[in-house]
Amino acid sequence: MTPVCPFVKAARPDEMNSKKPGENLNKHQTETEIKTKKDTSDSATASPKCPFGFDSQKKDANDSAAASPKCPFGYDSQKKDSNDSAIASPKCPLGYDSQSFKIGPLSCLVCHALLFESSKCVPCSHVYCKACISRFKDCPLCGADIEKVEADSNLQSMVDRFIEGHARIKRSHVGTDKEEVVGENKPVIYEDVSLERGAFLVQQAMRAFRAQNVESAKSRLTLCAEDIRDQLERMGNTSELCSQLGAVLGMLGDCCRALGDAGSAVSYFEESVEFLLKLPKDDLEITHTLSVSLNKIGDLKYYDGDLQAARNYYFRSLNVRRDAVKHHSNVPSQILDVAVSLAKVADVDRSVGNEDVAIGGFQEAIKMLESLTLNSEDSSLEQRRLSVLGFLNNQLAEKQPETTL
């Protein structure tokens, strides 16, 4: 059976729901013949059509009453005078509007995020992100052998225009009659979930990052960070914006670290710390993000051989977590975080020759974890507690007692 490309015709949701059970091949053939005849008779007088194959005059039999989507670039076979523009404005043929945004054919079937560096497989013509398809010898969709991969600049340009146009405009909720204003801080609906532009970009970045498409993730996060910086210039250093930018910068640091760019990673983590330090310390999520960023800088310094700098960042993270425990002593995850920071500081102390100080740190962390009681529903925390406890006990066992003759 010859595989059929799913992008040949993007079905609308109303088409999917309007199909009746029992439709057979004969009906499909009849509809095909009718469509062919109509196309032939109209060829001489056909008005401009959407370059992607979507024609607002083509309707299914059961769909005659429904409004057909129109091309956003002005290709509309039912286009009326400019006086009617306020009544029926052009709509995107792929379903991108102010009510529901569906990524559809603009997404990669491997990472499930918006296409980045769109690349077409030859000969099957299925399109994926460049980084995603580079890991395959056969097309993930149809199984055809990939002879070569070509850049699809036209499709990528469309994806970029979608992000710049549709996603940048924050539109009102469904059911509101107010005029849409570009740049106004209103939520936009993505797949029936209310997401603002920043949250949407972060969502796409996380999907790409999990699929190891790090360049795609970095691109989306960079755009998100630019948006937040623009808002900071207009609104000042509000707690919400500083928190958002601190988190996004931390994720950008993760991207750079995954790409092997330690210098840029440290810069992003340090900037993340700068914004998070402006926030109140009573928010557990902010405290955790701050301490994690400090630890990640310490890790990069440690691997670079700068042990003193590593210990400084580890110790700062430890202090942040100790302060959090003072305000939230009944939160098990905070106690686990303190134990982890104690282990990091002690490990550096051992590496620089401060063995007695290191042993003291290991023992303090062990005592905290052994006295920590967890509920039955905290199974994931219990696994983490046992893992950290095992590491600490192994560190103490490595110290061989001195013997005298």
Q: Could you write out the DSSP letters of every residue in 125-168?
A: --EEEHHHHTT-SB-TTT--B--EEEE-HHHHHHHHHHIIIIIT
What confidence score (pLDDT) does residue 71 get? 45
Give pLDDT < 70 ranges for the chain: 1-104, 165-195, 399-405
Which CATH number is correct for 118-169, 3.40.50, 3.30.110, 3.30.40, 1.10.287?
3.30.40
Yes or no: say if 207 and 113 are a contact pair by the CB < 8 Å rule. yes
What confidence score (pLDDT) does residue 166 get? 53
- pLDDT per residue over 270-310, tens digit each? 999 998 888 877 778 888 889 999 999 999 999 999 999 99
Of the candidates 196, 261, 243, 248, the residue with the CA atom closest to the CA atom of residue 221: 248
What confidence score (pLDDT) does residue 399 get? 64
Handedness of CA 130, 132, 138, 144 (dihedral sign): negative
What is the SS3 assignment for 199?
helix
Q: List, in sequence order, every residue forming a beta bridge with 189; answer none if it has no partner.
A: 194
Looking at the whole model, is its pTM more than 0.85?
no
Q: How many Å from the N-terminal Cα to the C-terminal Cα in the chain?
A: 82
- Kindly compute the dihedral angle of the four CA atoms of residues 367, 349, 326, 374, in this order, to the nearest 10 degrees: -40
> Which residues in 266-294 are b (16+ Cβ under 10 Å) and which e?
bbbbebbbebbeebeeebeebbbbbbbbb
Query: Both tokens of residue 168?
Result: 């940048």
What confidence score (pLDDT) does residue 315 get? 95
